Each structure stands twice: as C-alpha cells, then as structure tokens.
Structure 1
Amino acid sequence: MSDLDVRLVDAPPSIPALFARAVATSRGRAGATAPLPTHRLMMTGVRQDVRRLADYAEVTGGVLSDRLPATWLHVLTFPLQVQLMAERDFPFPMVGLVHVANAMTQHRPVRVEEELILSTWTDTLAPHRKGHTVDLVGEVRVGDEVVWEGRSTYLARGRGAEAGPPSPSPGAPGPGPGAPGPDAPQLAIPQTELATWRLPADLGRRYAGVSGDANPIHLTALTAKALGFPRAIAHGMWTHARALAAVQPRLVDAFTVDAQFVKPILLPSTVVLRGGVTDGVGALAVTSRDAASRHLFLQVSRP
C-alpha cells in the first residue's frame, strides 16, 4: 500500500451524486483489459454522528453502546469505495456491479469517542465464470494502529472468463486471511433456528437513510424493476449487520467474519436466521422460511 498514490478526501462523498456521475460515465469503460486504479482515498479526523449511529443500531437490530459495530465501519468506508468506482479510471461501470462477498476483521473494539482515519483502494482483479471480480479494500486506523480491515468483492457481469491467477493492483497487498474467493463453495445450511424476521417493503429506504447506500435497486419496486428486479431488494450489508447484531454478545474482541451473498431478498419478505456462534467461532445463514432459498452465509472466526 505504501506505493499507492494517496488522495485526501475532505468530507464523505455524496453517494447519490456519485451514482448519477457513474450512470453518465458508464459508457466506454475499458473492462478487464484495463489496469486497476493505483491510488488510495483517505479521510482523516473522522468523528461519529451518534444520532446517525443510533438510527443504524435501530434499523439493524443492534444495541447502541460505546463500541462501534464492525459493520458500521464498513458503512463509514463505503462512500470512499463508491467514489473510486465512479471515477473514470475504474475499469467497470459501477451501475450493475453485484456485491458477492465481504470479509472484515476487527482487530480490537473501536470506541465511539476515538478519532478515525479511513482509507480505501482497489485490489485483485480476477476472472469469474460470470465475468470478472474486483475487490475494494477498506481500512480504519486510530493513529498508526490498524483497528479494522474490510474487503468487498464485486462481480462485473459479462462474458465468462477462463480461470487464471488474480491480478493485484500495483503496490497493493493481496487478499488477507479469510478473504472469500469469488467462486467459494456453497456451505451447508446450519440447522438451528435463531430468529425469524419479517422485513417490510420500506426496509431498503430505511437502511439507505442511515447507511447512505441509495442504490435504486433497494428503494422502490419501480426503480428496482428498471434494473431487472421484480421488487426492491434488501441491502446485503443490512442482512450482514442484522445477523451479526443477533450474535453480538457471543463475539470476542478480535474476530474475522466472511460473508457470501447468495440470493437477493425481495421486499417485503420473511426470512430465518440459522446457526450459532460459540466463543467467537461459528456459522450463520439467512434463508427463506423453508430453507429453499439461501440468501447469506457468514463464517465467524478468530483472526
């Protein structure tokens, strides 16, 4: 990462404005033949908006405390990811990218009062049977200490590619421990039922309001249909956050969680959380009531 060009960002970018820019500049992207951007975006002096954090805890089923949820740190770095994807040197059109996996490691609890340094950059471009995947890496520091790391894997759908070695961006580190592969094998569904959730039709709008992720596929049936979905779909990171919040008392101070987003959840819907976590290790799945549809797999481990 030391070889990457660092570009400072003064304030969180406007995600709706970036989506609009991405639509306007979607044509003419070079695709997998182009190199990944070699710069890193960084924002310093980040303090918490406690009211917004409380709203996030409410919509994801968490408990507001003096410790930040690991998934909230993803929310803080996400606008920087979107800015990178909206820039002209990003090889794929941002609209249409599918978030297929996420891995994050919390090295220690991060407290509300701590001042944070956020950064993000692109990494590994890899062939996939449905196109190509690209990773967006996030990092949170307190001073010189790395307290959280995240990796979001996005699929750019297109002509299937022959399997081959992944191509990391210059100067960027490779996937860390626990980073999921784009063709990770499907996991067995845990049998223990932990909770049943009834998800309202406006869940996407509520989560967008606190996370800033205003992708049209989550907002209304009309905007979702325009992008190929029969109804609005729940944010994958809402499902991730809701599942982790359900087992928060069983997590340890330092943990890694790997997520695979399998099938979108249409809104409204009823889903079931299955599995369990013991002493900071375990597996979770979010499925339909009859377990025929698999929406999310999570593996929790010690780093």
Structure 2
Amino acid sequence: MSTTSARVFDLPALPPVLPAFARAAWSATRSVRTPVTMPDWTVRVAGLSFDRSQVAAYNALCGFANAEQVAMTYPQVLATPLYLNLMTRPGFPLPLMGLVHVRNSIECRRELAIGEHFDISVGLGATREVRAGLELDLGIALSEVGGDVLWQATMTVLKRGVRSDDSTLALSGPKPTQLDGAMAEATVAQYLRIQAPEDTGRRYARISQDYNPIHLHAATAKLFGFKRAIAHGLWSKARVLAELQPKLACAPRRFDVSFRQPLLLPGRATLRYVQERNGIEFALLEAAGAKVHLSGTLR
C-alpha cells in the first residue's frame, strides 16, 4: 500500500458527529480499489480541556470510584469526532461501515487532570495485510499546548477481505477464542464478574458521541448481523481498567488490548486476571463458555 504526501487539518473546535455518521453511512457505497493508497492525514484541535461533568458521567458508567479521576482510557472519548472527521473526508479509501476495531494500545506519560489544557490530534498510520483483510492504525495524541506528548494511543481497525497481494499476508496471530501466554498456562488466577446492562451502548454513546447502530438497540444491531446490540469495545476496556487499576501499586502507564468476540447486551462476563511483578495480564471471558471477549496487559 502506498501513501500520499502529508497533510494536517487544523480545526477550531471538535467537529459535530452527526454529519460524520451520515457520511459514514453513505461511504458504504464506496468501492475499494487495490492496491489501497492511504492518505497521510492528521486532524487536530488546540486548547481543549476536560469537562468535569463528562468525566464524572464516564466514570460512573465505567465503574471508576473517583468521579474526578481522568482515566487513561478517557481521552479516546474526546477523539471520537476527530477520527470520524478524518475517515469521512473525500479521498479516504475505505468505507467506514464494516470496519472492526481489533486492537487498542494506550501509553500515558503521567496522570491527567481536570483543568489542564491540551492539544489533541488523530492521524492515519500504518496499513498491513493480514489473514482477514487490511489493517489500519490510527494514532491519537494528547499534548501539552504547543509542547510534549502526554498521552498517546494506537487504534487498529480491520477491513475484512481487502487484499492486494496474497503473498504478503501476515498469517501470524492468535485465533479469536484462544488465550495466550501466562493466561493460558496459569493454574492460579483470580476472577471478577462484569455486568453489561441492555442500555450500556446508549449510555456510552451519549458520552462518547459514538452512535454506531450496532451498540444502540437490538433492532439496529440486527441490520448488521448481530443477534443483539453489542457493548462498545472501548467501554469494555474502560470497565476492565476500573476493576484492575486499584490492584496496582501505582498508576498504570500502558494498557494493551486485543478485541476478540463481541459482548452482547445485556450480558455478563468474567474477568480473569493474573498479577505479575510488572503488571497484570487479563482476559474478559464469556460468563458461561470459553469465548474470549478481549485480552491484554495493564502495566
């Protein structure tokens, strides 16, 4: 896959999401040309700050005990309008409908606080061919105003079935229902119960502005092949963080997750974790079965 010359779009404020969702729906008619040419684009907004009431609502929904703690997962909520704006611009080569969030990594240089100001940006990153299709990395960064990066994340999405040369496919990687490493071999693990009420997707949408219909109602999710609405992956990730963060001696600095199988709403899951010297390895499992909803590490 080739790339075009770099371009940065500076916006005066976070853009509205409803026009972006309309453009996302229209993008379903877009045909994908191979080899895919991914533009080198970044969109950014300067001088933002955390809204106290929004942070409190997010924390209540995700299970964080401190209403004023800015969780390391929260900046991605602010990034939602930006990555929608970026991927619905004319010239973006993939339809948004059908993109699957497969991995998410967060690195936080220090704790974030309500009241501080920052710049936020989202950029299109690397693409790679894998067994299932084409992966794209989106890089999200939170920086001091005009200064150093405080927080960054990589959000990897998959477009199934898009390939240009089968000989270059990356065939490695775990199967969707397998546990890896210490989680698969651990003989002593701890378990926590996670509840996901039926309205979780709608409540998360009001905070994150991510109104993807697969998360909202059973009726809208069925249009896309799901039996019921599914929990947003970033809500599930934040819910895991809320349970595991208090078990660490200090605030975590890195949080890596692979998304495997959707969590249907309403639903119950079991959080299985193994505490190690340098962090926690975990998997969110189907409450009554062997399926893995997500797995990862918190350090």
Shorter-chain TM-score bucket reads 0.7 to 0.9
1:164 alignment partner in structure 2: 168
* Per-residue deviation, 1:13: 2.3
Asked if 2 retains the 8 angstrom alpha-carbon contact of 1:217 and 1:223, the reply is yes
Are residues 277 and 32 of structure 1, via their aligned partners in 2, closer, same or farther at CA, if it must alter by over 3 Å?
A: farther
Distance in 2 between the 1:270 and 1:94 partners?
A: 29
Q: How does 1:138-217 map to 2 (within 5 A)?
A: 138-143=140-145, 144-159=147-162, 162=166, 164=168, 183=173, 186=178, 187=180, 188-189=183-184, 192-217=189-214
2:71 alignment partner in structure 1: 69
1:262 alignment partner in structure 2: 260
Q: 1:219 aligns with which of 206, 213, 216?
A: 216
* Per-residue deviation, 1:256: 1.3
2:280 alignment partner in structure 1: 282
Q: 2:296 aligns with which of 278, 298, 301?
A: 298
Q: How does 1:96-115 map to 2 (within 5 A)?
A: 96-115=98-117
Structure 2: any 5+ residue segments left out of the alignment? none
Distance in 2 between the 1:290 and 1:34 partners?
A: 41
Asked if 2 retains the 8 angstrom alpha-carbon contact of 1:36 and 1:91, the reply is yes
2:125 alignment partner in structure 1: 123
* Per-residue deviation, 1:26: 3.0
Asked if 2 retains the 8 angstrom alpha-carbon contact of 1:131 and 1:158, the reply is yes
1:35 alignment partner in structure 2: 37
Identity %: 31
* Per-residue deviation, 1:132: 0.6
* Per-residue deviation, 1:149: 0.7
User: Structure 1-normalised TM-score?
Assistant: 0.87
Task: Give per-residue Cα distances to partners, 1:63-99, cap 9 Å, x unaligned.
Answer: 2355411110111122211111112221110011000
Asked if 2 retains the 8 angstrom alpha-carbon contact of 1:99 and 1:155, the reply is yes
Structure 1: any 5+ residue segments left out of the alignment? 167-180
- Aligned residues: CA RMSD: 2.3
Asked if 2 retains the 8 angstrom alpha-carbon contact of 1:118 and 1:141, the reply is yes
User: Structure 2-normalised TM-score?
Assistant: 0.88
Task: Give per-residue Cα distances to partners, 1:10-67, cap 9 Å, x unaligned.
Answer: 2222333211111123323434523212221011111111111111001100123554
* Per-residue deviation, 1:291: 4.4
Matched, 1:78 2:68: no
Are residues 93 and 264 of structure 1, via their aligned partners in 2, closer, same or farther at CA, if it must alter by over 3 Å?
A: same
Relative to structure 2, which stretch is displaced further, 74-83 or 113-122? 74-83
* Per-residue deviation, 1:5: 2.2
Distance in 1 between the 2:203 and 2:24 partners?
A: 23
